[in-house]
Amino acid sequence: MRFLARRYLLISLFCLIFSCVYESFSHGVRSGFMIFLFLFPLLLGAVPAFVMSIAFVPVPSAAARCFWHAGVAALSVGSCLSGILEIYGTTSPYVWVYWVVGSLLLLAGALRYFLARGSRRSGG
Amino acid sequence: MYAVALILFTAYVLLDTFVIPRSYAAVQDGTIQAETSGEDEEITVSTSGASRAENSADDPETSDASDTGKSSSAAETVTATDTSYQNSGVSITMTTTRYEDTTVYVADITLSSAEALKTALAKDTYGKNLTEKTSVMAEEHSAVLAVNGDYYGAQNRGYVIRNGTLYRDTAASSDQEDLVIGSDGSFSIIKEGDVTAQELLDEGAWQVFSFGPALVEDGSISVGTDTEVDKAKTSNPRTAIGEIAQLHYVMVVADGRTEESAGLSLYEFAEFLQNLGVSTAYNLDGGGSSTMYFNGQVINNPTSGGDTISERKVSDIVYVGV
């Protein structure tokens, strides 16, 4: 999990640099979606992975991790896209898809993890 | 597989937002026919009762002129210089001033008929990603003076009424401030939460712009020092239109994003307009869109593509026709 935490940390750093560069060319137009883009991989990826690595809790299954990663990716891309559109001064009727799909994937990953933990406890 | 789907979907969203052109029908089909027929400028909007013919000023010759090339009078005298234009119905005086390290272009306009203050859509079609340069649209419509409009095509919401035709009746938000130009040429500011587009049309709205905010209302500045379009907190190129008195207007464009011109904040822009004596002034699309065309040429320094001096294609213009 520490490896995963480091990987998410690198992605967060990339997002931070990307948003800084993008904002520097936006002529003062600010977007919270762009400024706080790095928080998605940081808070939903690096922090949980690091906590799991030191808290000695069961490692999520491959399926649970897959759902979770997909959710973080959807939310991060959605935030980046929302920032680009907001800075340009336009909107898209499709942005909600990222938030809904991303949230559902996170929920699926979390459910998969906690249900597996529950069944292991009841089985043990 | 998921990554591919995410990339493809994102690519489609970007193409849909910025590239793929789409034309939409107006809310009122009957008025579209009147708009596109081009036979007579005296368009009557059946459902609203608003008609430019009813509101023409005293000069019948001038009010008969249209952008289809009809001349109000064969013997009409036109006086045009680099800084002025005058005929029997239109008087325009251009001035260029420096304000807050920014070059500001002011067109002082006096009309004898509200008919001469017009709008045009890119490619004469209402839609999304349909754009043309301000100067191209101005030439197509024989405009003497033109500035960029509200770039309605960048938004999916916000009232759009142009030349008496209702194109979009979905409100952007209840607080969205719109500029309403009545069929008599009078300016007023409304909030989209307070009135529907149909009600505006019924009350005689001829043009409605949904960008904003209102800069000056009743002669007083209506923006705060920290008010900005979206989240912009810095100086930028700006475009505004204001009413000084009945049929007496100003169109103002401020340069920005260049070494020569820093650009203005909305408050600075509002202050400038207030000093011009406007009773109502409204902020139109700015940034790289800010363009002023006069007597056949672009007179400001548009900064499309960051800080490069080039003219951006926009959805619509406001212009003075002859």
Say which residue the tokens 């810095």 belong to: B234
Report pLDDT for B308. Answer: 74
Sign of the CA dihedral with B159 first, then A97, A42, and A113 last: positive
Say if residues B191 and B174 touch (Cβ distance below 8 Å).
yes
Separation CA B6–CA B58 (nearest Å): 62
Q: Hey, what amino acid is at A86?
A: E
Q: Give the gap in angstroms from C-alpha A122 to the nearest C-alpha of chain B.
A: 33
Contact B232 A29 (CB under 8 A): yes
Separation CA B293–CA B200 (nearest Å): 29
Q: Give the gap in angstroms from C-alpha B84 to the nearest C-alpha of chain A.
A: 33
Q: Can you name the residues that pair with B177 across neighbouring β-strands?
A: B191
Q: Hey, what amino acid is at B303?
A: T
The DSSP code for A46 is I
Report pLDDT for B224. Answer: 81
Q: Given pLDDT bands bounded at 50, 70 and 90, which one contains residue A124?
A: very low
Out of A25, A74, A92, closest to residue B13 by CB: A92
Report pLDDT for A122. Answer: 62
Q: Which residue out of B1, B8, B17, B290 would a mutagenesis test of the A interface target, given it has the greatest number of A Cβ atoms within 10 Å?
A: B17
Angle between helices A62-88 and A95-123 (to 10 degrees): 160
Q: Are strands B238-245 and B280-284 parallel, antiparallel or unpaired?
A: antiparallel
Indicate left, alpha or beta for B44 from its phi (over 0: left) and psi (-120 to 50: alpha): beta
10-residue averages of pLDDT along chain B (322 residues)? 93 94 76 39 39 43 40 68 93 96 97 95 95 97 97 93 95 94 96 96 95 95 75 76 98 94 93 97 94 96 79 96 84
> In chain A, which residue's Cα lies nearest the Cα of B263?
A27
Separation CA A111–CA B57 (nearest Å): 71
Would you list the DSSP string of B198-255?
A: HHHHHTTEEEEE----EEEETTEE-S-TT--STT--S-B-EEEEEEEETTEEEEEEE-
Contact A27 B232 (CB under 8 A): yes
Let me know how long chain A is: 124
Using a CB-CB distance cutoff of 8 angstroms, which residues of chain A are in contact with residue B210? none
Class of residue B60 by CB neighbours under 10 A (exposed 0-12, middle 13-18, buried 19+)? exposed
Contact B16 A92 (CB under 8 A): yes
The predicted model scores a pTM of 0.81
Check pLDDT > 60 for residue A96: yes
CA atoms within 13 A of residue B6's CA, in its CB half-sphere: 20
